[in-house]
Structure 1
Amino acid sequence: MFRLWLLIGIVFASATAQAAPVRIGVSETMLSLPLYVAQSEGFFEKRGVSVEFVSCVGGNRCMRNMLAGQSDLSTATELPVVFNSFARNDFAILASFVSASNDLKVISKTSANITDPGKMRDKTLGYVKGTASQYVLDLVLVYNGIDPDTVTLKQVTPESAQDQLDKGDVDALCLWEPFVSKIRLDLGKEVQLVPIPKLYTETFNLIALKSVIQARPKELEKILLALRDSTQFIQANPDKAKALAAKQLNVSVDLVDQIFDDYRFRLSLSRSLGRTMEGQARWAVREGHVKAKSAQPNYSEFVAPVFLKAVEPAAVSLQ
């Protein structure tokens, strides 16, 4: 009898473990729209996978949470992948599901008179450490011939950025949407966009712990199927997608409409992803943002294309 109950317990425990939802760290940004759509439209359920969202502000925080065991998957741009790759290699990108070249913007105090990037010299500039904000700001400075040593760089958080700009703690800052549009809406004529060239196309990625890749492969494939469903839904129903984004991000539909065309929602794993990460790694080492104790990581080891190949083979072009 004891053996029977032991067997029942093992079976029950196994079934419970299998039924546990896959926890995804979802950054509160327009870039996460395919995930919001998949949840709202029931695409996860349709594909037979249980998912739980763990909200976070910024992909760097989402990835930090995942590495701390608070989620199984994370959403982030490539940069948090690069920063963490110098310390550990127990995670990999499953797929990119959106790309954008105008998500990151530079916004300044009107009184700072930064009407073009060249006028950022001798100014105090805010950035979010460990994110694409930090990378894009540096690209803009270098592109415009501004030595980073001639400006004062100050760390901000997405939540504190508006207050620091409003108080004049920073003259300008680099931040992503929808925070930039919210700041413009709240501060009105007190702020202005600084026109910057499109120097960087970011991808927003679904990243998994390798232990999860080994333990839950079928569920990961189903999640990518759901994301394929949602990207197709966004393309076919942009107005519904905009309304959902507005509701999810607590902004107006008009605001979403103004920035919606900056995003390309589709699944991919392309050659440019690896090249981008290699370039970011060289930048991180050169600027002293990471301690390079060994050779630059091989970023092919930080991509797991097997699931996207099963879901949408044509979307994979890594070679």
Structure 2
Amino acid sequence: MRTKTALRMVSFAISACAGILNPACQAAAEEVLKARLAQNLAPISALAIVAKANGLFGKQGLDISVSNFTSGKQCLDTVMGGGADIATTAEAPVTAAAMAQQPIAFVAGMEYSDLKTMTAAAAAIRTKADLRGKRIGFTAGTGSEVYTSALLKAAGLTAKDVTLVNLRPQEMLPALAAGSIDAFDTWEPHLANAKKALGEGAVLLDTKGLYSETFNIVVTRPYLEANPAIVSKFLAALIEAEGWMKSHPDEAIDIVAAASGMKRDELAPIWSDYVYRVRLDDKLLETLKTHAAWRLETGNHPPGAGMPDFSKVIVAAPLKALDPARVTLSANP
């Protein structure tokens, strides 16, 4: 009797793992696909951070190793150099790569938010016009540079009216604290870190709505062609993370704050500044075209470059196969 009972239990377990009673067990038994993610470790990468923390990549049969950086440019450069497979990156590195005719595939946007300007209280910068004659930190080759250009234009200034200082995001706070610069233009968590470190010595300039930076998922075209299943499963995990974050905002803030080195009470007040959605839409396309036009206007592009053909950059098929409603491009890129 015990032998028959044991056999029935084994048979039950085999049936379950064959997908008859438990499809998830079958998925777990499939071959695990490995990929390397180059990630900007900041709230703008929250979907990827949560997907990793909550095991959503593993649920899709993926083993994702993560290398963290402080800018999307570094992430995309790492992918183009062969050090990673998937990049979280903004539009600035994307347009630079497209103009250099690098074989990139823009497979989804996942976030957008406003860049901001932190100023030294001692610099007495109350309005955009007060930036005249000031030293402003920015990061070349990123959305920070485009935002800085838009900020000066909105203030009625040109680059000749200020001193621009090219810094990595993590160098900005020390420079502001030392008095080497009067303000800096960047993204979180570097703004919150400055406020935390300097208190009333750091003042945020009101530039809301001036420039929204997108954050996106980019791979190389050869990688996409060779690994369509990995890209599809990666996007599926981000979509699940998006839904979970909407249902569990408090837990999401905890996860992202811990991962990015921010205090929860610093991230929570600005959490609504981030719009998290996996999509390909006209806003993304327009941002890419606007950024490319800025490069052409300012000469910040490779010799002989023109407006990129974004139909050769944006690849909608993987996301459209997962959820057609998330692809709302009104025309061909």
CA distance in 1, matches of 2:295, 2:179: 28
2:151 aligns to what?
140
CA distance in 2, matches of 1:277, 1:285: 12
CA distance in 1, matches of 2:53, 2:165: 38
1:166 aligns to what?
177
Secondary structure of the structure 1 residue equivalent to 2:169: coil
Secondary structure of the structure 2 residue equivalent to 1:273: helix
Q: Write the letter of the residue equivalent to 1:108.
A: T
1:70 aligns to what?
83
2:228 aligns to what?
217
1:122 to 125, 129, 133: 133
**Is residue 2:283 matched to residue 1:275?**
no
Identity of aligned residues (%): 27
Tell me the CA shift for residue 82 of structure 1: 0.6
1:202 to 202, 213, 238: 213
Question: C-alpha offsets along residues 256-288 of structure 1, whole Å, 9 cap, x if unaligned?
Answer: 101101111111101122221111112112212
In structure 2, the gaps of 5 or more residues are: 1-30
Q: Describe the shift of the 1:262–1:301 C-alpha distance in structure 2 as closer, same or farther (beyond 3 A).
A: same
2:249 aligns to what?
238
Q: Write the letter of the residue equivalent to 1:285.
A: L
1:3 aligns to what?
none
2:9 aligns to what?
none
1:310 aligns to what?
321
Q: Does the 8 Å CA contact 2:117/2:185 hold for their aligned counterparts?
A: yes
Map of 1:150-189 to 2, 5 A cutoff? 150-189=161-200
Secondary structure of the structure 1 residue equivalent to 2:280: strand
1:45 to 52, 58, 62: 58
Secondary structure of the structure 2 residue equivalent to 1:160: helix
Q: TM-score, normalised by structure 1?
A: 0.91
CA distance in 2, matches of 1:277, 1:220: 21
Tell me the CA shift for residue 251 of structure 1: 1.6
2:107 to 94, 98, 107: 94
Tell me the CA shift for residue 54 of structure 1: 1.5
**Is residue 2:70 matched to residue 1:57?**
yes
Map of 1:10-25 to 2, 5 A cutoff? 21-25=34-38
Q: Does the 8 Å CA contact 1:117/1:140 hold for their aligned counterparts?
A: yes
Tell me the CA shift for residue 291 of structure 1: 3.1
In structure 1, the gaps of 5 or more residues are: 1-17
CA RMSD of aligned residues (A): 1.3
CA distance in 2, matches of 1:241, 1:272: 25
Q: Does the 8 Å CA contact 2:33/2:61 hold for their aligned counterparts?
A: no
1:30 aligns to what?
43
Tell me the CA shift for residue 20 of structure 1: 5.6
Tell me the CA shift for residue 19 of structure 1: 5.0
Q: Does the 8 Å CA contact 2:100/2:305 hold for their aligned counterparts?
A: no
1:9 aligns to what?
none
